Amino acid sequence: MPLSIRLATTADAPLVAEFNRLLAAETEGKTLDPAVLARGVAACLADPAKGIYYLAEENGTVLGQVGLTYEWSDWRNAWFWWIQSVYVRKEGRRRGVFRALYEHVHRAALADPTVVGLRLYVEKDNEVAKRTYQQLGMEEMGFILLHRWPLTPHAPING
């Protein structure tokens, strides 16, 4: 049976959370708080304004996922879609699962005139992932991604 792509539903929340847990462990060596992760995934699946997930299935088994969040560009008067939470089960890797998910997202973006681009971030040392993304037409932006996390209410700004 061929691979099919579908929108995740609230019923998929436990699987999406598990894929995100595995993603953090495998790519960044991070252990996520399961309760926070479960609430975050549930919130996203309950409110498409926060983001959406697509799942790739084969014979009723979900092999992979990709999440999307949105960034409004006032410079372009249009949206960038951020590809996030990319995970493919080990048995689905090197079989075109991510390619199918990416192409689905790419076609959806092309069909929406309010979307001007796709973006994602990748760990700087993850050469396999970078090559995969580049083979699909993505390129480095020349930016350095910065953050301030976690925010603490009384931390000094310069200190």
In order of 10, 24, 82, the CA distances from 40 in angstroms are 12, 14, 17
Instruction: Determine the pLDDT at residue 18.
Output: 98
Instruction: Determine the pLDDT at residue 158.
Output: 64
Domain spans of the chain, in order of start? 4-135
Instruction: Determine the pLDDT at residue 123.
Output: 86
Strands 4-7, 52-58: pairing is antiparallel
Instruction: For the chain of 159 residues, list the mean pLDDT of each consecutive stretch of 10.
Output: 93 98 94 97 98 97 98 98 97 94 98 98 89 94 88 71
Instruction: Determine the pLDDT at residue 155.
Output: 66
From 24, 39, 38, 96, select the one nearest 63 (Cα to Cα): 96
Model-level pTM? 0.91
Which of 3.40.47.10, 3.40.50.720, 3.40.630.30, 3.30.428.10 is the CATH number of 4-135?
Answer: 3.40.630.30
